[in-house]
Structure 1
Amino acid sequence: MENVVNTGMMNAGMVLSQLLKKNIDLFIPEIIMNDRDGLAEEIRFSENHFYGLRIRMNGDLNGNLLMMFSRENAANLAKELLGSEASPGEKLTDDAKSVLSEISNIVCSSVMNSISNKAKASVTPSVPEFLEGTFMQVLDVVKPERTKFLSMLTEFNHEGNDLLGVLLFLPDFDELLQLIPRF
């Protein structure tokens, strides 16, 4: 599974690099399976303000992919990619939200495409939905019921600047278990 996801991330990095005409590398150093409370313990400052972008998976594998950024990392990533200044604590502009939505769309769609290709399955993305609140508030909007999550700390490396986000993979686990043997 880790190889499939990292293939999707490498593809997303190439697409972002081509679009922005800047070298963007995406890394997922580790994938952790955790429950809701364990996940909150893993994420530093989980009580702080976060932005989340949910993309629904439909088809042979249903569920959600959720890309999350702390307020600071979201502002810094948008600033890097837009080439503009963002003041700390300032609300995100519509342009910054749009950039984060597109990044999430590219990353999540690339991961879904990698899963689809490897498992020879049909998995399609929805339009990103922008969410904000504490880490747990955003998580509860997406998947409030008891479940396990695959969390992937995602590093966006742009010209030496490491900006972190979290990609949460929230599949229907019964469907995922049916697809895994195809990998």
Structure 2
Amino acid sequence: MRRHRRQAIVARAREPVPARKAAPAPESLARVENSLYLSIQAIKKKHKLERLGIAFYDSQTTLNWSYNADAFFHAASTIKLAVLAGVYGEVFHGRLTADAPVHVRNKFASIVDGRPFALNLEAEPTPSSASPPSSAPSRSSRSKASSSCAACRTRAPSRPGSTTRSRPRGCSSCCG
């Protein structure tokens, strides 16, 4: 019995390894692409999305696909991947469950100077507004920032003893 088992193992080891699946035929890819496009349109309609952009790249097959790839989106749209990676890292380590709610606020400390920052969700990004701001703010922009909300430009209540270099308090509606 042992001899039969050993012979079977050796015979299996000599069998050729099955080749990787061949790339789908072009008509199959066209069907998949059309199905993907129709699914995206259905999602866009169901959730009443005005703008949607998707990009896909498979590093093993180098297959790539995109929808609305030339549209401009605020860079914060890309941070969602980092947030998801962080959340799933917490799930992996057992500190969160996959269905646990996660509170994400639209309020950050600027990495440039530490001032409060929030995205203006009303503005549509354009190629001209996508360019980075000048590296050194002028004196007038500094004083404006200290007297208005950094996120929505609402006039912030003045603080006793505040100077033009102090941080704005922010409005109560978005910055707290």
* Bigger radius of gyration: 2
**TM-score, normalized by length of structure 1?**
0.21
Q: Going by fraction, where is helix more abundant, 1 or 2?
A: 1
Query: Going by fraction, where is strand more abundant, 1 or 2?
Result: 1
The structure, 1 or 2, with the larger RCO (C-alpha pairs under 8 Å, 6+ apart) is 1
